[in-house]
Amino acid sequence: MVQIAGDCKGDDCPKVFTTDRNSIVVQGDLVTSLDSPDGEAVVEIPRRVWEEAARALGR
């Protein structure tokens, strides 16, 4: 995986990665106010990290 965006403050590091499978991986704070299917999770990342990832992808 290659990190293309991130906002680290100590151990709290929301990040966005690209993979060799042509996909995106997002690391962020777990959101418990929404239900998700087994094996999936909903995470929240700051908008500025998402915008940084979009710029890194050329969008």
CA–CA distance, 10 with 17 (Å, rounded to integer): 19
pLDDT at 47 over 80: yes
> Dihedral sign, CA of 35, 39, 42, 44?
positive
pLDDT at 27 over 70: yes
pLDDT at 59 over 80: no
Taking the domains of the chain in order of start, what are their residue ranges? 2-56
Please, what is the average pLDDT of the chain? 90
Return the pLDDT at 38: 94
Query: pTM here?
Result: 0.79
Return the pLDDT at 8: 75
Question: Per-residue DSSP letters for 8-50?
Answer: -BTTB--EEEE-TTS-EEEE-EEP-SS---TT---EE--HHHH
Q: Please, which pLDDT band fits residue 10 given cuts at 50, 70 and 90?
A: low
